Amino acid sequence: MLKHYHQRAENINLLCINPLKHDEEEDIPSLELENERSGWSKIISDVQLNSKLSQIQRGQLKELLYEYSNLFSNIHGCTDLVEHDIELESERGIVAKPYRMSPQQIEILKSEVNKMLELKIIEPGESDFTSPLILVEAQGKEARPCISYRRLNKVTRTKFFPLPNIKELLEKVWAAKYISWILLESIGKYP
């Protein structure tokens, strides 16, 4: 059965920024990139600076990113600020046998597990719960380990967290000069 097509009203958003006069522009010194460990040069090169920004605005954005460069890192870890508990319907253990893998996949998985152990993302432990580990290989991307929690999810108590109304959120930011978003890659870093 097909759903009826409803045409939505077109919304047009316009942002006008008055350009600065030439005499108002200041010379912003270039920033020395010292924090290579955090992948700072990659962050700066990946930042898509809008071509409509003036040279001063670009400099201010780079300066802001540099000021908070310690928040960006290519080195993953585990936070100690938040702990996550999973409530189960029963305390009976869930055991799932591992998936079959090639020797090459096993070697890649072993090296990834060792990396996570060194970075203290995971720790050795004993449990009545096991879930199979698998290597996901996407075309053009590095292979990454994933855990199939399907059997565990079946016995997990569901909690509902309603999402905020998107229209209300857009109304709050409609007057903002700059809007940005960040891809969060730290999912799974909570103990």
Note the pLDDT of residue 163. Answer: 87
CA distance linking residue 189 with residue 191, whole number of Å: 7
Question: In what helix (H) or strand (E) does residue 146 lie, and over which residues does it extend?
Answer: strand 144-147
pTM of the shown model: 0.52
**Geometric angle at alpha carbon 118, from 114 and 119, rounded to 5°:** 120
CA distance linking residue 136 with residue 132, whole number of Å: 12
What one-character DSSP code corresponds to residue 139? T
How far is residue 26 from each of residues 16, 20, 67, 103, 160, measured CA to CA in Å?
22, 10, 19, 59, 51
Strand partners, 147: 133
One pLDDT digit (tens) per residue for the chain, 191 residues: 556 655 555 555 444 455 555 454 444 443 343 444 445 666 666 565 556 677 787 788 778 878 877 776 666 667 777 787 889 998 888 889 999 999 999 999 999 899 888 888 888 988 888 999 988 888 888 888 899 999 999 999 988 888 889 888 888 888 877 766 665 555 555 54
Nearest to residue 167, comparing CAs of 9, 5, 50, 6? 9
Q: 139-177 in b/e burial notation, b at 16+ Cβ within 10 A? A: eeeeeebeeeeeebeeeeeeeeeeeeeeeeeeeeeeeee
CA distance linking residue 37 with residue 46, whole number of Å: 16
